[in-house]
Amino acid sequence: MATRRPRPSRAGISCAAKLLIRSSHGQHHHSLFTTRPRVSTHGLLHPSHRRPFTTNLSKPIQIYRSPSTDPYLNLSIEHHLLQHTPPSSIILFLYTNRPSVVIGRNQNPWVEVNLSRLRQKPLPLTTPHHHPSSAPSPNEQQPTSLVRRRSGGGTVFHDTGNINWTVIVPPPIFTRTLHAEMITRSLIRLGIPTARVNERHDIVITPSSDQKDYKVSGSAYKLTRTRSLHHGTCLLSSPNLGQISGLLRSPAEAFIKARGVESVRSPIRNVGIDTERFIQGVVEEFKSMYPTDDDEEIVVVDEEIARQEGSIVKGMAELMSPDWIYGQTPQFTFSTHPTEDDPRPRPPLPEGIPREFSAHFTIRHGEIQTFSITGLRYTDDIDAASQDLALSQALVGQRIHHITDWRETLQSASSTPITDAQAVGGWLNTMFGLS
Amino acid sequence: MASIARCLRAARPSGLAALVKQPVPRLCSARTFSVSASNAIRKYTKEHEWIDLAADLKTGVVGISEYAAKALGDVVFVELPEEGKSVKAGDAIGAVESVKSAADINAPISCKITAVNTLLEEKPGTINQVPEDDSHGGGWIAKVQVEEQGVKDLEKLMDAEAYEEFTAAEGEH
């Protein structure tokens, strides 16, 4: 594999350095990024190519690691690095997240995720491989986080048995496979000889026991005018593999036709490598692709300072807002029955829902654009059809992710009490993960 | 769009082009074209967007180039610009997703978005079929209103011939 050497930039003062200068006030521990001593890299890295003209302040190659397992924080640190590192620099960033389902930029959470299960059932955490200085995770009992990332692609599951790696490069260096192959070479050197990049840019392994490919790492990309970001997962030792398939199977999928991106299911497996060994292996491989004369350069992000950095605060607020997670969903249509656009046969509706009942609605940017409900029964049953129409009209304009209980929403949109509000509303709650 | 057009091959940083042993036959000549008020003008950016500016220099249409569309692979979603928004040259105005990549679309010149091509929401593949078609049913992205700064920005862009040479030279690396 060819080594592509970046052009070292004298002009680009690294993001880390800037922040260090700005926030440290001479106190090293107050900076956003602190240089980690050679603990994990000692003896592994060989600075074989020395470039005497590279100064400490203009680092063309930067390696970061986050001690936090907060997915919103880690993705916001990553976005900060994408936006604020010098255009010619090459960045490696490594982090693990607490249990999270991470959907792609243009995906539909109601199609991709079993939201009821996600909200109800906290998953066990593995022992996080924290940097010694970090506090124990206060999130032990939190339910799995739902995250919409900024890159494309499909839905993946993270936990602390999974590691995320990010490489940010100038556009001319970028290819979709370059850094997936970097990870593959690391895995091979760490004793996984069958690791390879498949046609979907996933990394798969083929255990000799059954000669079948198992995905261990998925990729996604975010490309801006000046920077190209490739990030991926790698399942090392997740204790939750058995849960993932159920978590990523939505009861509403059969009723929704969505624009945007649908995930492709693949059988998955852990590679069974310790997090620290994996990090060492990847750093070593990264450094052999992009040699530097600095062997003390794994920088551990200071979580406290990161949480105060303006662009990270802003990034986190956006990633955590329902308007981003749900409101950024591409247009979709929910239909209880087959339609011309979506002729798939539908699963039977549960008992208690009237036989004549049907619902068909379109959501754009989280907002109900059209709503048509028919076949409901009302306690005052003089003209059910016009009641259905009035109810439908009252729902147009509501934001789907602001609805917390469809039973209440249906009832309060109707001027007449609805006989079936519990049954129909309860079923819609199940569909939208509110039960 | 900067990176996506290069994603199908191993490219080098453009700054290193001079070190390439094989000769680079043609060089980018970005400034050989002057703005003419008599005809509609088409110009391209290095990041592979195009703009058609009407003869009156007041309105235009923006899209991504055929070269970029080919390199993107199957476009599965287009995040359209926000109508009414004023942007500067180089600002991200939307994005296209293909093969797991969310790639920014950038404003070729300073302009105000007046309309977006909603057809692309329904049929994102139109970008692959007719990316440089600015008519109804075409793969154009947005219609824009242009003022003095926008016309000035145009000078930095390439005409069709220069763009072709630019992409040919890129492809050889």
Across the interface, whether the CB atoms of B100 and A152 are under 8 A apart is answered yes
- Residue A318 exposed, middle or buried by CB count within 10 Å (0-12, 13-18, 19+): middle
CATH number at residue B51: 2.40.50.100
Across the interface, whether the CB atoms of A104 and B98 are under 8 A apart is answered no
Q: Does A7 touch chain B (CB under 8 A)?
A: yes
- pLDDT exceeds 90 at position A238: yes
Distance separating alpha carbons of residues A336 and A423, to the nearest angstrom: 14
| DSSP collapsed to 3 states, A295-333 | CCCEEEECHHHHCCCHHHHHHHHHHHCHHHHCCCCCCEE
- Cβ-based contacts of A174 with chain B (< 8 Å): 3, 6-7, 11
Cα angle for residues B29, B34, B35 (degrees, 5° grid): 135
Residue spans per domain, chain A: 15-323, 332-431
Q: Does residue B90 sit within a domain?
A: yes
Interface subset of B 96-155, CB within 8 angstroms of A:
97-104, 106, 121-122
Distance separating alpha carbons of residues A249 and A244, to the nearest angstrom: 9
Select the more confidently predicted residue: A30 or A267.
A267
CA dihedral A45, A48, A49, A54 (to 10 degrees): 50
What is the tens place of the pLDDT at every residue in B96-137?
999 999 999 999 999 999 999 999 999 999 999 999 988 888
Tell me the average confidence (pLDDT) per consecutive run of 10 residues in chain B, 173 residues long.
47 28 37 47 93 93 93 93 95 95 95 96 93 90 95 93 89 59
3-state helix vs strand vs coil in chain B, percent to 5: 25, 25, 50
Distance separating alpha carbons of residues A116 and A247, to the nearest angstrom: 9
Structure tokens at A299: 């920088």
Q: Does residue B135 sit within a domain?
A: yes
Across the interface, whether the CB atoms of A153 and B100 are under 8 A apart is answered yes
Structure tokens at A398: 């509501």
Q: Which residues, 6+ apart, have CB-to-CB distance to A217 below 8 Å?
A: A180, A183, A202, A203, A232, A233, A234, A235
pLDDT band, very low/low/confident/very high, at A255 (cuts 50, 70, 90): very high
Structure tokens at A34: 């602190």
pLDDT of residue A295: 66
- Sheet with B111-116, edge to edge strand ranges: B41-44, B49-53, B59-64, B142-145, B111-116, B86-87
pLDDT of residue A25: 33
**DSSP 8-class letter at A390:** H
CA dihedral A375, A380, A385, A386 (to 10 degrees): -140
Q: What's the mean pLDDT in A370-379?
A: 93
DSSP string for A353-386:
S-TT-EEEEEEETTEEEEEEEE---BSS-S-HHH
Which residue of A221, A228, A330 is in closest CB contact with B100? A221
Residue B118, domain extent: 1-8+41-150
Q: Average the pLDDT over each of A4-8, A122-126, A163-167 and give the range with the smallest value.
A: A4-8
pLDDT band, very low/low/confident/very high, at A140 (cuts 50, 70, 90): low
Q: Does residue B146 sit within a domain?
A: yes
Q: Which of A206, A193, A205 is nearest to A234 (CA)?
A: A205
Interface subset of A 328-347, CB within 8 angstroms of B:
330-331
pLDDT band, very low/low/confident/very high, at A39 (cuts 50, 70, 90): very low
Q: Does residue B160 sit within a domain?
A: no
Distance separating alpha carbons of residues A177 and A182, to the nearest angstrom: 9
Which residue of B3, B12, B122 is in closest CB contact with A223? B3
| DSSP collapsed to 3 states, A403-415 | CCCHHHHHHHHCC
DSSP string for B4-62:
GGGTTS----GGGGGG-SS-------TTS----SSS-EEEE-TTSEEEEE-TTSSEEEE
Q: Does residue B120 sit within a domain?
A: yes
* Å between B32 CA and nearest CA of chain A: 24
- On whether ipTM exceeds 0.90, the answer is no
Across the interface, whether the CB atoms of A173 and B99 are under 8 A apart is answered no
Q: What CATH class does A15-323 carry? A: alpha beta
Q: What's the mean pLDDT in A408-429?
A: 94
Q: Does residue B19 sit within a domain?
A: no
Per the structure, how many domains does chain B have?
A: 1
Q: Does residue B50 sit within a domain?
A: yes
At residue A312, what is the residue type? I
Across the interface, whether the CB atoms of B13 and A173 are under 8 A apart is answered yes
The answer to whether the beta carbons of residues A151 and A224 sit under 8 Å apart is no
Residue A430, helix vs strand vs coil: helix
Residue A317 main-chain phi, psi, to 5 deg = -60, -40
